[in-house]
Homo-oligomer: A and B are copies of this chain.
Amino acid sequence: MTNYIAVDIGGTRMRAASYTADSLIPLKIDRIKTRKKNSLPQERLKKLIESVWPDEGEVAGIGIAVPGPVNCAAGIIETAPNVPEISGFPIVSYLQAVYNVPVYLGNDANLAALGEWKFGAGRGHNYMIYLTISTGIGSGVILDGKLFSGAQGYASELGHVLAVTDGPVCSCGIPGHLEAVASGTGIAKWVAEQIQNGAETSINPETDDSGLISGAAIAAAANQGDALAVQAFKRAGKYLGQALADFLHIFNPTIIVLGGGVSQSYDLFADELQAALQAHLMMPHFAKDLTFALAELGDDIGLMGALALARESTC
Q: What residues of chain A have their CB less than 8 Å away from a CB belonging to chain B?
A: 69, 71, 78-79, 126-127, 143-144, 146, 148-158, 160-165, 167, 170, 172-174, 176-177, 242-243, 245-246, 249-254, 280-283, 285-286, 288-289
Contacts and interface: CB of A to CB of B under 8 A. Distances in A.
Which residue, of A155, A162, A165, has the highest number of chain B Cβ atoms within 10 A? A162
19 contacts: A79-B283, A126-B151, A127-B150, A150-B252, A150-B253, A151-B253, A151-B289, A154-B252, A154-B283, A154-B286, A155-B251, A158-B249, A161-B249, A170-B282, A172-B283, A173-B282, A174-B245, A174-B281, A177-B282
Contacts of A153: 252
A95 to B, nearest CB: 23
Given A283-B69, A285-B69, A160 B246 contact: yes
Contact of A250 (B126, B155, B245, B252): B155
B282 A252 contact: no
A127 B143 contact: no
A242 B150 contact: no
A239 to B, nearest CB: 10
